[in-house]
Structure 1
Amino acid sequence: MQNQNDLDQNNLIQKSQSGHTNSGSKTRKRIMIMGLILFFLGDLLCFAWVMRPESPKIPSPAIAPFSEAQAAAYQSGWGIHLNIPEEMQNSLKMRFALIPPGTFTMGADANEKAVKMREQPQHEVSLSKPYYLCVHEVSLKDFRQFVKDTNYQIDPRRDAAGVSQANLSAGNWVEDPLHPWEKVGFDQDETHPVVNVTWFDAMAFCRWLSEKENRTYRLPYEAEWEFACRAGTETVFNTGNSLWYYGPMENHSDQTVNPGLIVHMQDASPWKDGYANTSPVGTFPQNHFGLFDTHGNVREWCMDWCDEEYYSHSPKVDPRGPQTGSSRVLRGGCWGSNEYYCRSGRRMERAPGSRNVRNGFRILCEISPESEFGPYEHSPTLHRDPRWWYESKIGEEKE
């Protein structure tokens, strides 16, 4: 009887040991299977990580100074990043160059000729957003289309406008309220920049075009204007330290202009560019960003109110000028300006309701990276070799 009990007990022990053995074997199998699954899952995750689409890399801002080739590379890089053309045309066939965000030294050096207090001190400014700036100043054709579409009325009694042909011929600077933008007192065709327009007229044009195309058009702030004008240069002009050393590079006062219309005829450049007054937009060489007439032809209205001491306390990022004032900023030189009044750092101020045959404007088109920019057309690539002008123009004018 005892032997039988011992035998039964041994059987139970063996079964128990056998069960433990089977259970351990199954556990090991489960662990191995889980290990293999995790191994292959890890490989799959690594493969997915390697093959993931790269997030778009934000191009670097344009830090002045930079060369012409670098300026073009900045424009191209930001165009690819934003999926917009570096040069576009709007519905009026106005051409716009993409200006990248960047950092530059704003203002005039103390050693520049005819420097003013309002142009100092030089200070570093950063622009955080790209924008489109019109390659040309607004032409007579563009402004005439605006007036036609809106029946816009300019009150000639509001301020003086234009000069009579008789006064021009006699060399007298006498403004006549009977000569608004369409009768400026000298010959212009549709390709010339519009003049005798106030800051209000320029803003009305921008509002009309914004509504027409469902985009935001406006005048540039002067920091945007100067950054685009300099285009990476840190010299007096974007052409270097002269506008005429190798030939006339802008339409400013030279030996063609009527001596009675400028104050310092002795300082006029020793050239004849063939234009006593305005010239067709885009006649002279463009800068590194592809902009024309930034140092000549007409002075250009900007958005900002003017403050003589603004540079001493202006923001370092995206300055917008003072919030109030009595006059607006004008930038750039004009057909009647001596060279030293055409400097990159030159700034003027005029009442926003004033008109003058030396003043016009250039427009900016805003870009929103978060939303679609809207329909556009690619414009032809800008010819960036300044020699085209000298070879084709100077040679023709030799006697």
Structure 2
Amino acid sequence: MENGYRVGCCLAFVVVGLLSLAASPEPAKDGGATETKTVAARDGAPMILIVPGAFKMGSQDGLPNERPEHQVQLDGYYIDQYEVTMSLYRKFLESGKHDSPPTWDDEAATTVGDRPAVGMRWADAAAYCEWAGKRLPTEAEWEKAARGTDGRRYPWGHMQPFVDIANYNRGVWVNETVTLVPVTSGLEGMSVRHGLKTGGKSPYGLAHMAGNAAEWVSDWYDREYYQQSPEKNPTGPSKGEKRVIRGGSWADLPPALRVTARFSAEPEFEDRAIGFRCAMAADK
């Protein structure tokens, strides 16, 4: 997202659209997710343990900012199984420690609080995670949780997205009820109209790592960072003008939903396509 989330995604479609539409191999089997553990964090949100180990980050087939593909070693960490919901974010606002984002709809948070909280600036997302005793995930943590260790293109494998497994390409914003889907959808056998099926999960069991809401992560953005990033526990550049956004959203086409796709926006940028999830160290 060189000039904002929507513009960056459109540029990505032109460059990598043909790659995503090409014939793909069968989906990967387990993504290396040989051990998982769920815990409830301070805000009550279930978190998944991502065990220590290496994975391949980036892609030689994507945009220049996704290259080179490189091995990254991460310590163990927990990450939210679901995107932070409107109901959870409302509890945070009710604590009186933060102002509501400009696009916040308190009525929607009451009636469809199971939808992801969207419209947050980077600082809004970071403040929530701090309130919950957590933090935003690093870009590397986010990508490993989304793709596992087998180099898959999307959280569910290599095959192209379709409406049963991802909430994407919805056109213009209508409202939270119509445009977004519940963060836990797909895990209770809900219909395509009201939710997604289990095939959209990542190898570690995380939901909506592609589509629904794109997600802020902690890192500053540098298009050439992969050329110099450390092999162990990379946290991004020490400073910058933009923050990284990952995962694609309800508004995006398939190329932006790839697990390696990197976009960026100024921290003050706000859009109903962008939400977040939190992480924390495994030793907490």
1:240 aligns with 2:202: no
CA distance in 2, matches of 1:308, 1:332: 17
- Which of 119, 136, 142 is residue 196 of structure 1 equivalent to? 119
Question: 2:247–2:258: 8 Å Cα contact kept in structure 1?
Answer: yes
- State the structure with bigger RCO (CA 8 A, min sep 6), 1 or 2: 2
Confirm whether residue 120 of structure 1 aligns to residue 70 of structure 2: no
CA distance in 2, matches of 1:241, 1:321: 27
Partner of 2:19: none
1:140 shift after superposition: 0.1
| Residue number in structure 2 paired with 1:130 | 76
Instruction: Select between 233-242 and 130-139 the one with higher mean Cα deviation.
Output: 233-242
Which structure: larger Rg?
A: 1
1:227 aligns with 2:144: yes
How far is the alpha carbon of 1:155 from its aligned partner? 6.6
Residues 87, 109 of structure 2: 8 Å contact kept: no
Give the whole-Å Cα distance in 2 for the aligned partners of 1:93 and 1:195: 19
CA shift in 2, pair 1:224/1:366, >3 Å: same
Q: RMSD value over aligned CA atoms?
A: 2.4
- Which residue pairs with 1:93 in the alignment? 44
Larger helix proportion, structure 1 or 2? 1
CA contact (8 A) 2:72 2:232 kept: yes
TM-score by length of 2: 0.78
Cα distance in 2 for residues equivalent to 1:155 and 1:130: 32
Which stretches of structure 1, 4 residues or more, deviate above 4 A after TM superposition? 183-188
Q: Distance in 2 between matches of 1:361 and 1:68?
A: 25
Amino acid at match of 2:35: Y
d(CA) in 2 for partners of 1:108, 1:138: 28
The one of 242, 246, 270 equivalent to 1:327 is: 242
1:93 CA displacement: 2.5
- How do 1:263-342 residues align onto structure 2 when only pairs under 5 Å count? 277-283=179-185, 284=196, 285=198, 286-342=201-257
Offset, 1:187: 11
User: What's the offset of the Cα at 1:324?
Assistant: 0.6
Look up the equivalent residue of 1:336 and give its one-letter code: A
What's the offset of the Cα at 1:365? 2.0
C-alpha deviation, 1:238, in angstroms: 2.6
- Distance in 2 between residues matched to 1:222 and 1:308, nearest whole Å: 13
Assess if the C-alpha contact under 8 Å between 2:79 and 2:279 holds in 1.
yes
Matched, 1:68 2:19: no
Cα distance in 2, alignment partners of residues 108 and 187 from structure 1: 41
Change in 2 beyond 3 A, CA 1:184/1:118? farther
Residues 202 and 155 of structure 1, relative CA distance in 2, 3 Å threshold: closer
Partner of 1:23: none
> What does residue 21 of structure 1 align with?
none
For residue 87 of structure 2, give the secondary structure of its aligned residue in structure 1.
helix
**Contact 2:31 2:150 (C-alpha < 8 Å) held by counterparts:** no
| Structure 2: runs of 5+ lacking an equivalent | 1-27, 186-195
Q: 1:141 to 1:346 in 2, by over 3 A?
A: same
Equivalent residue, structure 2, for 1:351: 266
Counting aligned pairs with the same residue, the percent is: 30
Q: Determine if contact 2:90/2:109 at 8 Å carries over to the other structure.
A: no
Q: 1:276 offset after TM fit, Å?
A: 5.0
Distance 2:155 2:206 in 1: 11
Verify the 8 A CA contact 1:328 1:351 in the aligned structure 2.
yes
The residue number in structure 1 matching 2:96 is: 150
User: Structure 1 residues 331 and 184 mapped into 2: Cα distance closer, same or farther (>3 Å)?
Assistant: farther
Displacement of 1:235 after TM fit? 2.4
State how far apart, in whole Å, the 2-side matches of 1:133 and 1:198 are.
Answer: 20
Confirm or deny: 8 A CA contact 1:243 1:250 kept in the other structure: no
Structure 1 pair 354–184 and aligned structure 2 pair: CA distance change class (3 A): farther
Paired residue type of 2:67: Q
Q: 1:74 to 1:355 in 2, by over 3 A?
A: same
Residue 92 of structure 1 aligns with an amino acid whose one-letter code is D
Q: Give the one of 161, 167, 170 matched to 1:251.
A: 167
Q: Which residue of 2 aligns with 1:20?
A: none
- Report the number of matched residues: 241
